[in-house]
Structure 1
Amino acid sequence: MYKMETKVAVVTGANKGIGFEIVKGLCRKFEGTVYLTARSEERGQEAVKKLEELDLHPSFHVLDVTSEESVQAFATHISTHYSGIDVLVNNAGILDFDKSVSSYEDAKKLIDTNFMSLLTMSKILYPLLKNNARIINLSSDWGLLSNIRKQVWLDTLAKDNLTVEEILQFVNDFLQAAKNGKNAFISFAGHYGDYKVSKVAMSALTFVQQRQFKEAGKDISINCVHPGFVKTEMTKGMGDFSPERGARAPLYLALDAPQTLKGTFVWHDCHQVNWDD
């Protein structure tokens, strides 16, 4: 089958909030096909309809980042129709704002969605990235290393030669703390510790994967971004910024940042910060 040379941008978890606004911005400025993806066919199609009313025309595909089968189905779709992916925005994520301390089961579900899914995406979707592709990971100010309270992990995660295996050990150490009860949970990363751990792990993975791309001789940029405290359904409408404002820095990384910007933590106003200060 003929594969189109059209540029392709993909946004995960994009049927609402910041993801929806990123798709909107890409539809306006990205010269190629923009995929709005979501777990729910119904909610995804509703989001596409809203954009079509603005004369914007994203493509839609179901994508549940927590399901290897779903990610593989999407990868097969892309590889069948296109020559690769140019922009990938890892936006999908969850947070129960009502639970500052979660149960082990809730913490595991959150970490599976916010972090472990990135390893699935890396394994299945990253091989489809074109050589000058851009990956944008939606992190948070809670993704800064200073959110962690255990000194052993402050030291480990700041290493220049950090490995994916060590990040997994960090995540599993936290999940063990969550199993051990509220006091262990809070002593590890404070309130909302599961969300903080998921985003710190995402940030750390960003830097490790940038190093891996460089070692493999690939001109792929991967950066993480704090979009600001954005008023979304996830934050129960609390926040400083609109979702549209929250999309500003992710869109900068997707469209306008120099390709030399690699392996950085970008703030909502588009300036770089040191994640491990």
Structure 2
Amino acid sequence: MYNMETKVAVVTGSNKGIGFEIVKGLCRKIGAVYLTARNEERGREAVEKLEKLGLRPLFHVLDVTDETSIQEFANYISTHHAGIDILVNNAGILDFDKSVTSYEDAKRLMDTNFYSLLSISKILYPLLSNNARVINMSSDWGLLSNIRKQVWLDTLVKDNLTTVEISQFVEDFLQAVKNGKNSFVSFAGHYSDYKVSKVAMSALTFVQQKEFIKQGKDISVNCVHPGFVKTDMTKGMGDFSPERGAKAPLYLAVDAPQSLKGTFVWHDCHQVNWDD
């Protein structure tokens, strides 16, 4: 269907919400756009909705918490395309009804919102084209000011921060969850599991960008706060429609200058200081 020169975009967790709208926007600009979802039925239903609008998204099952699923997707891409030009790490979960969490719930959230990025980095990043764009869907809860534990406020701003240290930050939080409510609330307040996952994502964005620059690759990695968007995840609460929430991610994916690298972009497309 597509030749090897066709640009390829991948959006994780994109059968609904902001991810769905990002796919819709990319389909109007990019040759091959993969709508991915862990549930095949829901994913194909989403594709059908877009096809009724005259768009031609592609579909592939992708469970970002399952390295086998990621590898199967990588094998498919490498067989059918020259690489990935745009990768939007959109998949994420949040139980908006629960600001108090159990260890099991916190671990499941971290597996989806943070640890999956490490697996994607290992398996999909080798497929990135020479001037690819990676967009990480963060949040205003992904700003460093959401963290209350001083040792991590000091660590996460280091110029030589490593992925290992970011993982230690997440593990320290999970240990706090085991230690009880007072311990993990003092770490980052209410909804602390989601906040920690998004702060870790933001920090990882900047570390990975530095690594690509050191490797001499013209790959951009940025994170974005799409705004408080009305989705299933927020139980329909929010300031923006999913279509409006897709504005800044689409800007980073298509319209931003390639020189924009390692930044935190607000929903109105302006850059903010992550660590203020």
Q: TM-score, length-normalised on structure 2?
A: 0.99
Query: SS in structure 2 opposite 1:29?
Result: coil
Give the equivalent residue in structure 2 for 1:255: 254
Query: SS in structure 1 opposite 2:141?
Result: helix
Give the equivalent residue in structure 1 for 2:47: 48
Give the equivalent residue in structure 1 for 2:23: 23
Query: SS in structure 1 opposite 2:28?
Result: helix
Structure 1 residues 101-250: aligned runs within 5 Å = 101-250=100-249
Tell me by how many angstroms 1:5 deviates. Answer: 1.8
Gaps of 5+ in 1: none
Give the equivalent residue in structure 2 for 1:79: 78
CA distance in 2, matches of 1:3, 1:187: 53
Tell me by how many angstroms 1:210 deviates. Answer: 0.1
CA distance in 1, matches of 2:56, 2:79: 21
Tell me by how many angstroms 1:214 deviates. Answer: 0.4
Tell me by how many angstroms 1:101 deviates. Answer: 1.3
Query: SS in structure 2 opposite 1:194?
Result: helix
CA distance in 1, matches of 2:34, 2:153: 37
Tell me by how many angstroms 1:6 deviates. Answer: 1.1
- What are the superposed Cα offsets for residues 164-203 of structure 1, whole Å, 9 maximum, x if unpaired? 0100110000000000010001000000000000000000
Equivalent residue pairs, number: 275
CA distance in 2, matches of 1:47, 1:152: 44
Tell me by how many angstroms 1:3 deviates. Answer: 6.6
Tell me by how many angstroms 1:147 deviates. Answer: 0.2
CA distance in 1, matches of 2:4, 2:164: 37
**2:44 is the counterpart of 1:67:** no
- What are the superposed Cα offsets for residues 117-147 of structure 1, whole Å, 9 maximum, x if unpaired? 0000000000000010000000000000000
Gaps of 5+ in 2: none
Which stretches of structure 1, 4 residues or longer, exceed 6 Å deviation after superposition? Answer: none
Query: SS in structure 2 opposite 1:261?
Result: coil
Residue identity over aligned pairs, in percent, reads: 83
Q: TM-score, length-normalised on structure 1?
A: 0.98
